[in-house]
Amino acid sequence: MKKILKEIYPYIIIVIVVVLIRTFIVTPILVSGKSMFPNLSGGELMILNKFSNKIERYDIVVVSSPEEDHIIKRVYGLPGDRILCKDNTIYINNKKIEDKYGYGTTEDFDLIKLGKDEYFVLGDNRTISKDSRMIGPVKKENIKGTTSLVIYPFNKIGFVK
């Protein structure tokens, strides 16, 4: 019996390590839909970094959603920011930003003041994305992590910004 345990011991350790890594550090995440087009497409498989402590403007995040398992969006507003859109132009803290990720027209929305643990997220494909314009600011506790690495399909492997 000791011999068998000694032989399977390394495999048990490997399984435990893989489960811990997947549970607490990184896990695969599937992009669904077209809300992040043209930067991401439905069916792409990405790596979700659950260990990311700091969320920065324009990071791609995975958010828990009551209607879906998750949604993938881009962070525009950070805690304490004031954000609005007028005439297809986004203003953050009264400053016009160059929206290099937005595709399509961003419909106007009134000024939103973010709380200390709130983020404003937008899909890159503004015409169809269900994001903070509809669901409101996202609390930090509902952000599962950040993602920027596509691992499938193989011809799209690489980092996305």
Residue type for position 31: V
Q: Which helix (H) or strand (E) holds 62?
A: strand 60-64
Q: How far apart are CA 131 and CA 120, in angstroms?
A: 8
Q: How far apart are CA 99 and CA 87, in angstroms?
A: 13
- Which of 152, 150, 133, 155 lies closest to 39, judged by CA? 150
Assess whether 73 carries a catalytic annotation.
yes
CA angle at 105 for the pair 101 and 109, rounded to the nearest 5°: 100
Q: Rounded to a whole number, what is the largest CA-CA distance in the chain? A: 74
Look-up of token digits 């009551």? 66
The active-site residue out of 52, 73, 132, 144 is: 73
Contact assessment for residue 158 and residue 149, using Cβ atoms and an 8 Å cutoff: yes
Residues with active-site annotation = 35, 73
